Amino acid sequence: MPMRFSAPLSFLFLLTINSVDVIGAEPDLQLTLPPAIYAVPDLETNIYFDNIILSQTSDQYRFKVTCELGEMETNRWRYTPKQTDVGKHTLSVAVYGTDDALLEEASTILQVVPQAAGAKKKVRLLIIGDSLTHATAYPNEIARLLSQPGNPEWTMLGTHKTKSASQGVVHEGYGGWTWARFVTHYEPKPDGTYRKQSSPFVFLNDDGTPQMDLPRYFDERCDGQRPDYIVILLGINDCFHVTPDDTAKIDVRIDTMFEHANKLLPALRKAAPDAKIGVCVTTPPNSRQEAFFANYKDRYSRWGWKRIQHRLVQRQLEAVTAKDDPQISLIPTQLNLDPVDGYPVNNGVHPNTAGYKQIGATIYSWLKWQMSKTDDSTHTTRITPEKNKR
């Protein structure tokens, strides 16, 4: 079933893109939260406030998180669960202006997952992505977390093993790649590098025509194994170069991205019908404009990419939610990545070691949530109400 993009999810976000902060006027901050956040005992999770509103000056606003768990800091809500916190908890975020007037408010569900979810099982994981995945830092962190006590026996599927990969870590992550490249690209004269190779999912058919063939990929390149979980982190290269001042062009570019996503996702669903697919929400930019200048000089700015990325996040939330497929869900990778200390000073979109670990922790928490849904011995559905709502 194709994704739909027309029906707005008013409870999640506002859709105007040209937000300008004006002191004395009510700004259109477009406060945006995913439908759920996942957390595991003893593993820190965060909501960084700069990542959830469309503003160049998030420090001008006061944020209030209403939840019985976690604690507020100036720039984030921080929470490290305990085992006794397992269950569903309501969480809301309110944003106040300089005159302490409530500007916007949104809610989500905090799902704390049992630490032993999936223990003693055997699971297979396929990770698909661009340069953030190619760096292999967050796949390594997922592997490290999955190797701790209380976890399943894990196997990663894929053809790409980088020099920095930990033992057993492979994936399909390549620098500069897009949804379109995974669906369509065929290289007749590969040179042995990822920059000049076909998509691992594309083969010549009997007529000599390039064609995406996921069953053949799993049969020939994964020893016939099918994944239990598929994680996809794409979107930056699909949309980065669009003009940020033109809302219509941003949406056209995102539409094109989803055209290819709507080919890859059904193909994965058909080839691995039992797999749970997590679509990672596109990560936020480095908070420093100088980091963008170091990479791109005057061609691209932090505020330009922030506007595109925020709209892309909104569209991803809308599309996956509207699809209403129990096998496909969102991974809120945009929340838990520190836009300051999670990035180096000289790179606009690629995190540092700490930032990659935060991405890995978010994906790991989603995996544990998926495992908990089929683990009756550890799953609980306790829901706690909001408290002290202003």
Task: Give the model confidence (pLDDT) of 344-357 as tens digits.
Answer: 999 999 999 999 99
Indicate whether 35 pLDDT > 90. Answer: yes
Domain that holds residue 129: 122-372
390/137: higher pLDDT: 137
- Least confident range from 7-21, 264-278, 316-330: namely 7-21
**383-384 and 87-96 beta bridge pairing:** parallel
> pLDDT at position 59, please?
95
The number of domains in the chain is 1
> pLDDT at position 386, please?
44
Residue 209 lies in a domain: yes
**Contact criterion met (CB below 8 Å) for 355 and 335:** no
Residue 79 lies in a domain: no
Residue 228 lies in a domain: yes
Residue 197 lies in a domain: yes
**Across the chain, which distance is largest between two alpha carbons, in Å?**
68
Whole-structure pTM value: 0.90
The CATH number given to whatever domain includes residue 154 is 3.40.50.1110
Residue 97 lies in a domain: no
User: Please, which residues have CB within 8 angstroms of residue 54's CB and are 6 or more apart in sequence?
Assistant: 17, 19, 28, 29, 30, 32, 306, 307, 310
Burial environment of residue 182 by CB neighbours within 10 A (0 to 12, 13 to 18, 19 or more): buried
**153-157 and 122-129 beta bridge pairing:** parallel
Q: State the average pLDDT over residues 39-55.
A: 98
Indicate whether 293 pLDDT > 90. Answer: yes
What confidence category does residue 376 fall into, taking pLDDT thresholds of 50, 70 and 90?
Answer: low
> pLDDT at position 70, please?
98
Residue 355 lies in a domain: yes
Task: Give the model confidence (pLDDT) of 196-207 as tens digits.
Answer: 999 999 999 999
Q: State the average pLDDT over residues 277-291.
A: 98
**Contact criterion met (CB below 8 Å) for 245 and 322:** no
Burial environment of residue 92 by CB neighbours within 10 A (0 to 12, 13 to 18, 19 or more): middle
Q: What is the Cα–Cα distance from 241 to 349, expressed in whole angstroms?
A: 13
- Least confident range from 10-24, 81-95, 367-381: namely 10-24
Residue 111 lies in a domain: no
DSSP 118-138: TTT-EEEEEEEESHHHHT-HH
**Contact criterion met (CB below 8 Å) for 35 and 12:** yes
Residue 6 lies in a domain: no
Half-sphere exposure of 77 (CA within 13 A, CB side): 22
Task: Give the model confidence (pLDDT) of 81-90 as tens digits.
Answer: 999 999 999 9
> pLDDT at position 194, please?
87
